[in-house]
Amino acid sequence: MTELTKYRCEYCLTEYTSKCECAECEKNHKIRASITSKRYIPYKNDRCGYPIEINVAFEGGITIKYKRADRCS
């Protein structure tokens, strides 16, 4: 019988056999983030009410813009 030990990244759920490699994966993820702005369109054009675009500021001063892929009207 062989005992297997695996480690799983808490953020992306990737499994590793090396504890060190898993720790490196977890350190790489940018987890401190906050939404800095949102953009909506009129309800007549999009009834779902979700923003079509958000800007997210991450640790280290980097801001990334995310856009909604679909229209859910």
Q: What is d(CA 46, CA 49) in angstroms, rounded to the nearest whole number?
A: 7
Q: What is the residue extent of each domain of the chain?
A: 1-29, 32-73
Question: What does the pLDDT read at residue 73?
Answer: 55
Question: What does the pLDDT read at residue 23?
Answer: 98
Q: Using CB atoms within 10 A of its CB, is residue 54 exposed (0-12), middle (13-18) or buried (19+)? A: middle
Tell me the pLDDT of the chain (73 aa) as tens digits: 999 999 999 999 999 999 999 999 999 999 999 999 999 999 998 888 999 999 999 998 999 999 998 867 5
Question: What does the pLDDT read at residue 70?
Answer: 81
Least Cα distance to 26 among 17, 13, 41, 35 occurs for 13
